[in-house]
Amino acid sequence: MDELLAAALQVRENAFAPYSNFRVGAALEDESGRVHTGCNVENSTYGLTVCAERVAVFKAISEGARRFRRIAVAAGAATPTPPCGACRQILWEFCGDIEVVLVNLKGETKSYRMSELFPRPFDDSFLR
């Protein structure tokens, strides 16, 4: 299996998801080939939960990475699970039109571009 998908499946094991029991892993590849991983981290207030994708992006940014090639997202649902709306906004901000590969526990995959998942985004172009 593609190493990026394997990394997303592996980090999913670290998910802190006692409230939803829905575990998610993400693996973000930067331009140098380095992989930044993240899992969902839930909170008893529910609303402070952070998704796997945002954990991966923020970890990468805080390590100094700035350009990215693709992200893999692993979850246990029958249908490969796409990023939520909040994560799409964050992914667009930092990663632009990258490839998003979704994988489930059966190894079934679906691949999209961010521009398919998040058409007509709000971004910094409106602030100029």
Residue count of the chain: 128
Residues in Cβ contact with 62 at an 8 Å cutoff, skipping those fewer than 6 apart: none
Per DSSP, what are the bridge partners of residue 99?
Answer: 70, 113
Q: Which window, 4-12, 81-89, 103-111, 119-127, contacts ligand THU (CB under 6 A)? A: 81-89
Question: Which of 49, 97, 109, 121 is close enough to bind ligand THU by CB under 6 A?
Answer: 49
| 77 counts as binding ligand THU under rule CB under 6 A | no
d(CA 110, CA 72): 10
The binding site for ligand THU (CB under 6 A) comprises 17, 20, 22, 24, 40, 42, 49, 51-53, 81, 83-84, 87
